[in-house]
Amino acid sequence: MVISFMLSWFNQISGRFYLLVGVMIFAVANSVTRKLTEIGAQNLIDGRNPISFCNVLFVGNLCALVALLGVYYPQLKKIVLSNLSSRNWLYLLLVALLSGALAPALFFTSLERTPVNNVILVSRIEPPLILGLSVILLGARVNGWVVSGAIVSTLGVILTVILQPPQSEIVQMSGFQLGVGELMATGGAMCSAIANIISKISLQNIPLGFFNVVKTALGTVIFFIIALLLYGKEHFMDVSSPLLWKWMIVYGTVIVVVGQLCWFAGLKRTSASEVSLANSFNPITGVLAAFLILGEIPTTAQYIGGLVIVLGIIFNQIGIIQQNKPSEDNNISSSVGFKGV
């Protein structure tokens, strides 16, 4: 009785509300992740930070997986695993590798090496990448405004990187000095964009709940194996820390699960223009969160790059409104960057 009442109540909530909540949760993910590592640095165990980025990714994924299993269990019971082809499993594994392991690992590493605002703004390269891949591989039709928005947003990302001295180790590329942290954020965005396209091409027939559970499970296992091979088992010495698990239960449930549920609920109930409009608040909310949570004040380069990115988002919004297609056909603009783990 209570469950049916709650489901009825949730179904009556506006899709715009779900979108905005999802965007706000995803926008604060970077700042919350950095803040948690700072909390861990204040509670060292034999000189080690129990809330390291690797531990956040691994344990956060485990907590998110448990929560997702609880949410999607009714749907999972209806899935017959033998009905999935070997090709389905191959693509699921590839998506899990890219978006469940490599992308968050690269984003987390970039958060260690560069300010949160840089990660937020540089990760805005993902929507233009998805757009370009959708046009090339999926034959997506876009108008001039959408193309202009993608170009301008990409220019904003470039300006964010080149107008400020690198905030981390330097890599020389074509005469430019680029920070390793910024390059890793770009790599994370590329992995996420490619995974997005693979999902659209090959996994359309797989239910969303099953997809999220399998992607999270496989991503957790893949990341754990890679970390073991690269760093050894000592890297996870503090994985049983009560402090880590206390924060990760909240982090994995709120940032990952609630954020995803709100976002997908919003996608089902709104148009493409509404999705694009909600998405446009992501960089603004992310920068504001970095200021409120971490006290991180944007630099001049970040202001310039951010304003150009916002201009690109406005162009994209105009184009989406003119196309006026359902959100399912325009999810090329629905990505909101780093989503926790």
Q: pLDDT at position 166, please?
A: 62
Q: What is the pTM of this model?
A: 0.82
End-to-end CA distance of the chain: 34
- The 10 Å Cβ neighbour count of residue 303 is 14
- What's the CA angle centered on 109, arms 108 and 113, to 5 degrees? 115
pLDDT of residue 339: 54
CB 308 within 8 A of CB 152: yes
Pairing of strands 176-179, 170-173: antiparallel
How does pLDDT run along the chain (341 residues), one tens digit per residue?
Answer: 444 444 454 555 677 788 888 888 988 999 999 999 999 999 998 888 999 888 888 998 898 888 888 888 777 777 666 677 888 889 989 999 999 899 998 998 898 888 999 999 999 898 889 888 888 888 878 888 888 988 999 999 989 888 877 665 666 655 556 788 888 999 999 999 999 889 888 877 787 788 888 888 999 999 999 888 888 888 888 998 999 999 998 888 888 788 888 887 887 777 766 777 777 788 889 999 999 999 999 999 899 999 999 999 888 888 877 776 544 444 434 455 445 44
Q: At what angle do helices 53-77 and 15-41 cross, to 10 degrees?
A: 140
What's residue 324's pLDDT? 62
